[in-house]
Structure 1
């Protein structure tokens, strides 16, 4: 089967959804390829919730446009309370969402925009001629499909398409090539936040707190990071053999429910089936260990029950495409601005140790946000390919911020808009005038960069 599109988006995660919808709204014929029977990527398949973060620490909203439209839809149907202050204080806001409501909202956005959905389909090959992708081969239920397009967008998270067509990439941290660990997130019922709040109030130095612990149980979306001493005590007794130093719980919005982010699978490669298999096996073994620890050690959790694990293990980091510019850790922390900015981020550098139990946080000054330049979306060596999501061109440290869901969605909207503008104008994405792209993003309500506040394009 041979099919032709203006824009082909490969990967239906947060970035891919935004890219496909943005491109379709610009009038392009768009197809979105996704291996699962639903959309959402890590946010729905891996339960990487709540969403973080739409705001800088002083309250400025840096992610708007299509991502905010998605949240507005969820709030209207009761699938999210909207943006609320982060009780942990790690970032400015968190956005709890119901993953099932999120799946439905994703489909609605795509179908209303006219995106052709190719679910249960996975890209397995591609051909390149004179530095351009001519087509990809996708494995569907009925067999191989040959999908042609003027512009391709890689939102697979792992840069699968970019790697297949020979675009250069990096993997892991420079000193040893290790990527951040995988985590199998899971959902529990039976959490009593009152004892947790009382314990935190009595032992505030044992927690990372962004709120008064006496208010914790009465927040619309309680969350806790801590119980460091309880974790250390359990490890000393052999009751917590995981490479993790804290309890991390996020309420879902339903009484007594929480997402648990505590498993840690190090040295597993998210770009190989063997690495993912090890992540799934080890992750589910660790879920049982965490459940036993919570019931035995943690106040308010003695009666918790496991109600859901992620459809797949969560992958924080894998391939990072080498683009025309590589976003640096210094860019993130210093709040860098770029003339070709197309999206913004404000999440701190958050590195889960690839080889141990720790968590490295590189602080940012209050209110800091940073620009993500268009050049980070343009791989070298392939002229009609854009990337978005956690596989953009960035250093290990920079990706530890830019990988976060809200930022990935903002970059996805930019990539899809650029893809449509390029395809409709008959130019390569690298030849697109940045002012044209920035004006289009501004017209769609997207916050594309700091220069926008000073009267830049649009």
Structure 2
């Protein structure tokens, strides 16, 4: 069943709710039984200054930033690659990095990272087109996921394998130490403060001790298990609650598809309706970084929990079945898809929201009026030209009570509406870089991230190419 977003929601994107009833392929197993695990010694794998748990966009940026400041930095990642949802989740459409005037406001690590990709591994509007409101130009780029509200934006698509390779080289060059196939499982706590984390691996449970921990798991796994206050208020009809596994088809002609979509809107609408009637959950194809590869970032499913293993399994089963159904239907009915073949299903499930930190500060809807936070660590474009640029405070990365931890990425402290853009890849790079810099400075001075002077963080961010509001830049100079 398709739900229509209402109320405070800004995105009118189709989602599909699966009721926790007979519609389920698998039913969660509930038992009241427990077993007692005997106490055991956990080997200490390593000690470091900064431990980053999670190698997604935020974690990669944090590890590079911390290591570049001289901190011995370790990066735990459960998969065999870096980049998280931007690579393993096939979120290769990198959302807006420019504001509505065309100014590049998400810079620093993000700008360097994308600039290091080979030219044939990234596609998007040229710099001179950013901010253009020319109707024809905006219409052309709107079909290619790079123009919104009649304005061209810097929203490129990129090759996930080149993004993986580039992220790995940046981490190694910075001097950080990646550790793959290592799942951060439990925090190591001492007196209400983080002192490291226990991870699971083929060697069993092992621990890494650190002066500062960066929880970049995306779901707040470590700070949640440490007892930090969290929130999860979000509307199930919202795209930002939904989950799915993305996929790509090869052997397509996306220019032919786009010509038909733009030139025959009634046929396109009928095609989507027939797909829904045939398969229930059905989605449209998006462009990628090359013409012969199509990207599917849905259908988006709601009614599932991103922190329940039975629900995660259900979504994977449904998504992979839908991939096969889409392939058959697109081959038969979509221009440009007659020779399509399944190129890749994402190795990582596309989770948009699980839980969020309750921090010392937060990004709230009231802050979309252009106000500048005194402890600003970055600037995000707003959702539409109706709003002004949004100042992201350092306090949004700091737990309200627990010490020794920073929490960048999609689980940072914010309200549900602000989460709709703070969860995006560029914003995760932005908050991750800030967390890495703050973690390195805190570790070097043997103080908690909460005690770190914000001006020192801001000066370091400016030195590393981050854009801050003019008022903050002037005070930090």
Q: TM-score category by the smaller chain?
A: 0.7 to 0.9
The unaligned stretches of length 5 or more in structure 1 are 207-225, 349-362
Q: What is the Cα deviation at residue 152 of structure 1?
A: 0.6
Q: Distance in 2 between matches of 1:47 and 1:345?
A: 22
Residue of structure 2 equivalent to 1:132:
193
When residues 442 and 153 of structure 1 are mapped into structure 2, their CA distance, relative to the original with a 3 A threshold, is: same
CA distance in 2 between counterparts of 1:49 and 1:92 reads 16
Match of 1:337 among 361, 366, 372: 372
Against the structure 1 CA distance between its residues 261 and 179, is the aligned structure 2 distance closer, same or farther, given a 3 Å change threshold? closer
1:456 matches 2:475: yes
In the alignment, which residue of structure 1 is the partner of 2:75? 32
Which residue of the other structure, out of 58, 73, 92, is the alignment partner of 2:153?
92
Quote the offset at 1:391 in angstroms.
0.5
Contact 1:23 1:417 in 2 (8 A): yes
**Could you say if the C-alpha distance between residues 228 and 342 of structure 1 is closer, same or farther in structure 2, counting changes exceeding 3 Å?**
farther
Residue 379 of structure 1 and its aligned partner are, at CA, apart by 1.1
Match of 2:135 in 1: none
**What is the TM-score normalised by the length of structure 1?**
0.85
Q: Secondary structure at the match of 1:251?
A: coil
Question: For residues 21-79 of structure 1, what are the alpha-carbon distances to aligned partners after superposition, in whole Å with 9 as ceiling and x for unaligned?
Answer: 10011111110000011111111111111212221122100111111111111136x43
Greater alpha carbon shift after TM alignment, 442-451 vs 368-377: 442-451
For residue 351 of structure 2, what is the aligned residue in structure 1?
315
1:298 pairs with one of 320, 327, 334? 334
Name 2:280's counterpart in structure 1: 241
* Cα deviation digits, residues 151-209 of structure 1 (max 9, x gap): 110100000011111111112416999961112111112322343343344346x6xxx
* Equivalent pair of 2:236/2:303 in contact (CA under 8 Å): no
Equivalent residue in structure 2 for 1:370, among 375, 390, 403 = 390
The alpha carbon displacement at 1:295 in A equals 2.5
Paired residue secondary structure (1:68): helix
Among residues 238, 242, 251, which one is paired with 1:190 in the alignment? 251
**Structure 2 residue 411 is matched with structure 1 residue 411:** no
Q: How many residues align?
A: 415
SS of residue matched to 1:307: strand
Q: Which residue pairs with 2:51 in the alignment? A: 8
Supply the distance in 2 between the matched residues of 1:175 and 1:198 (Cα, whole angstroms): 34
Please provide the CA RMSD for this pair.
2.3
Partner of 2:272: 231
**Structure 2 segments unaligned to the other structure (5+ residues):** 1-42, 131-140
Shift in CA distance, 191/19, structure 1 to aligned 2, threshold 3 Å: same
CA distance in structure 1 between the partners assigned to 2:239 and 2:167 by the alignment:
33
Distance 2:239 2:380 in 1: 24
1:372 CA displacement: 0.8
**1:347 positional shift:** 5.3
Q: How does 1:67-216 map to 2 (within 5 A)?
A: 67-75=110-118, 78-81=120-123, 84=126, 86-88=141-143, 89-90=147-148, 92-173=153-234, 180-203=241-264
- Select which of 287, 298, 307 maps to 1:250: 287
What is the alpha-carbon distance in structure 1 between the residues aligned to residue 98 and residue 142 of structure 2? 14
The more displaced of 296-305 and 384-393 is: 296-305
Alignment of 1:349-364 (within 5 A): 363-364=384-385
Is the CA contact 2:254–2:293 (under 8 Å) kept in the aligned structure 1? no
Alpha-carbon distance change, 312 to 197 in structure 1, aligned in 2, over 3 angstroms: closer
Return the alpha-carbon distance in structure 1 between the equivalents of residues 456 and 447 of structure 2: 13
Contact residue 248 and residue 262 of structure 1 kept, 8 A: no
